Chain A
């Protein structure tokens, strides 16, 4: 494949919620091009007769009974991991 463009790297960073310095853009441009150049070898593998395996050990439709269970982890425990909170609410910057 041809070299990944600077604009493509910036778009990927944006989609991934990352921001890059101009030096990083250049670095990732080279590195991603090299890695994608390597993985492109798969295009030469003949997979016409291959049946797609959805799950590696062949499991299908794993489900459990729709019942509630007691759980040892309290909501206070979960709330205590929040970086920003007010009482029992998650606090964020303005969304809209």
Chain B
């Protein structure tokens, strides 16, 4: 299996006719077929991708503008609506669904000449931390197929780690890009809330969902973000983008770096701690002012998340009723039975659990004690994060408290599985950008470090992450 050069190098070679788009698509498709045992991909679009490659080739011959990502193959999580294949969200309820429109993020990548070759596996509706909740089977970790790839963007992280494609897109609601990136040893980036349009992305929890890239380097992440960021008029939560996200490494000299105390607790694995502390030493040696910082509200982040997320999910999944799209039960005898049977046949047990949890916290009598309280705690968390981040350039800590776990280990214990997100959920609740970069291996499994900055400081964060990645 061949490896890929940096994305801008590949695109440059295509422009200079040193590489052909057809060659690149062929390579990606072959890689995908070789990596089949990892179950990272739900569908491949070989013919469509080849046609697109031919079109770009013609443009090159005719000296037409081909875009900044011309010929670069990519894969997106199967909760992005795309033309030319099914969009399933890895759920039986959407099997066979062909989206009538395309997501903005995919549209923007394609308009710069990137070529979509397939859709990545995920936990159904992005609900999970291990991609074991997929109705299309579990994704296996590229470093050891007996272990999980992390979730919910497990397929998107695995295809980059397996060198199938140079980059992929995922979504992150409570860590779904960063956790699998950490478990698979790649770079996973959750931008500021609203920086990338979610138009055409199947919703999980609308106040938390973001779209972001998974790549092999921070430099590649900068380029992809630069292409996909910004308003499209179709997502009312969109925020203004910066003119460019392409920057060099930002020197760490004099930078104020806070190591989050609460992230270094939570049953942090000893070897993960060693690797993070090792990195912290190098950051200190590079001239940064490193301090421990305590944010006690973080101890409540997971509880807050597991009220807000299911509440929003139960509302968002109410639309799957067997009437307008996807699966519809054939044995229903009344309209009410159509709803119930369709949802029963289409939703896995994890989705049923979360839908009922969300319905519970939103029901009268419990609303104030759960949902309203969670909103108050979230508001406190946003304020405390803002206050702390005003004193530091970035905050750091591990991405997860352990490396990838064995397939099946947590599947019968939902609360134990939910605890995997304990370090990542805070960035979603606070709307701040966060990136996971690989920092080494513990017993042959990758470990990631998380870097967090203020809302809308994505550019600075990526510059600092580039420097930290080098150390």
Chain A residues within 8 Å of B, Cβ to Cβ: 4, 8-9, 12-13, 15-20, 24, 28, 31-32, 34-36, 38-43, 45, 47, 50-53, 55-57, 59, 62, 64, 72-74, 77-78, 80-84, 90, 92-95
Task: For B355, list chain A residues within 8 Å (CB).
Answer: 16, 18
Name the contact of A93 in the complex, choosing from B100, B335, B429 (C-beta under 8 A): B335
Is A50's CB under 8 angstroms from B101's CB? no
Cβ contacts B293-334/A at 8 Å (1 or 0 each): 000010010011011000000100000011111111000111
* CB-based closest 6 A-B pairs: A56-B431, A83-B328, A77-B100, A47-B376, A81-B325, A39-B303
Is A18's CB under 8 angstroms from B376's CB? no
Is B323's CB under 8 angstroms from A90's CB? yes
Is B356's CB under 8 angstroms from A42's CB? no
Is A57's CB under 8 angstroms from B340's CB? no
Is B383's CB under 8 angstroms from A50's CB? yes
Is B379's CB under 8 angstroms from A72's CB? no
Q: How far is the CA of A52 from the CA of B377 in the complex (A)?
A: 9
Of residues 372 to 393 in B, which have CB atoms within 8 Å of A's CB atoms? Answer: 373-380, 382-383
Task: For A82, list chain B residues within 8 Å (CB).
Answer: 323-325
Contacts A35-B415, A43-B373 given; does A81 touch B300 at CB 8 Å: no
Q: Does B48 contact A (CB under 8 A)?
A: no
Q: How far is the CA of A32 from the CA of B323 in the complex (A)?
A: 29
Secondary structure class of chain B's binding surface, majority of residues: helix
Is A9's CB under 8 angstroms from B335's CB? no
Task: For B239, list chain A residues within 8 Å (CB).
Answer: 57, 59
Contacts A35-B306, A81-B98, A93-B337 given; does A12 touch B237 at CB 8 Å: no
Q: How far is the CA of A78 from the CA of B363 in the complex (A)?
A: 33
Contacts A39-B306, A42-B373, A57-B192 given; does A94 touch B335 at CB 8 Å: yes
- 8 additional A-B pairs beyond A12-B363, A47-B377, A53-B382, beta carbons within 8 Å, are A18-B355, A28-B356, A36-B370, A50-B380, A52-B375, A56-B382, A59-B237, A83-B324
Q: How far is the CA of A27 from the CA of B256 in the complex (A)?
A: 48
B332 nearest CB across to chain A (Å): 6
Task: For A64, list chain B residues within 8 Å (CB).
Answer: 233
Q: Which of chain B's residues has its CB closest to A13's CB? A: B356
Name the contact of B324 in the complex, choosing from A28, A32, A41, A90 (C-beta under 8 A): A90
